[in-house]
Amino acid sequence: MMLRFVAALLLAAALVGCGGPESPAPATRTEPVATGVAYQHVPSGMLFPPKIGGFERTNVYPGRAGSDGVTVGYAFLTPSGPMLVTVTIEASPPGSVDAEAIDPACREVFERRKADIGTSNAQVKWIEEKDVALRLAGETQPMMTTAFDFEFRGEPMRGYLYLACHVGGAWSLHYRATAPRDPKMAEIVTGFVAALPGAKLHPAASAEVK
């Protein structure tokens, strides 16, 4: 069990530092967050509990410079192996005020996150892409999702990317999950996304996302 936990932490560090969709700053800039208590991202008001179902919060990383964002990591030791999820919240790009639609600016962010994944993993194989509606921060939000296969240190893995813009009217939420190639993992990831609580989010100070 301890070896699997260490493997999960190593994978988490690699995912955050590999230039993927949630790569903010080097892992050495981990923010000190007390264990056992919820972490609140002050600019947005978003809450990140120490545990969500079987997931445990691992690290909190500062966001990109000038983004008012943050990336929070969670790990879950499933029977098939470690599952890692990183959650990034940052200001949404300017776009449509229609809460029922996904505006073009948000889709551009999604495509850039996919490009980051492809750059970091030369052998990535995209499986599916679709729009869904999930409940985030107390409201139902339109969200873009995709799944992909790749290898990590010779092990076959499956990744999941979720992105929603204008959550709470101003914030983007990016979820990247990595897990063993097990069909049951997709349901676990979706459950995590829906279960992550959030207080009523504050307006964003900046709406520029690159």
Can you give the residue range of the structural domain that contains 112?
2-195
Q: What is the pLDDT of residues 51-76, one digit of tens each?
A: 998 999 999 988 877 778 899 999 99
Nearest to 106 by CA among 14, 1, 209: 209
Rounded Cα distance, 1 and 79, in Å: 11
Q: Could you tell me the end-to-end alpha-carbon distance of the chain, in angstroms, rounded to an integer?
A: 40
Residue 207 lies in a domain: no
167 assigned to some structural domain? yes
Q: Is residue 208 in a domain?
A: no
Identify the pLDDT of residue 10: 45
Report the C-alpha gap between 131 and 144 in whole angstroms.
Answer: 5
Q: Is residue 117 part of a domain?
A: yes
pLDDT digits (tens, 9 = 90+) for 80-105: 889 999 999 998 888 765 656 788 88
Whether 205 is in a domain gets the answer: no
Give residue 56's pLDDT. Answer: 94
* Banded model confidence at residue 30, pLDDT cuts 50, 70, 90: low
Would you say residue 59 lies in a domain?
Answer: yes
Residue 108 — pLDDT band, cuts 50, 70, 90? very high
Residue type for position 135: R
pLDDT of 15 strictly over 60: no
* 98 belongs to a structural domain: yes
pLDDT value of residue 33: 81
> What CATH number should be reported for the domain holding residue 6?
3.40.1000.10
The answer to the question of residue 202 being in a domain is: no
Number of domains the chain contains = 1
H helices within the chain, ranges in order?
A: 2-17, 104-120, 185-195
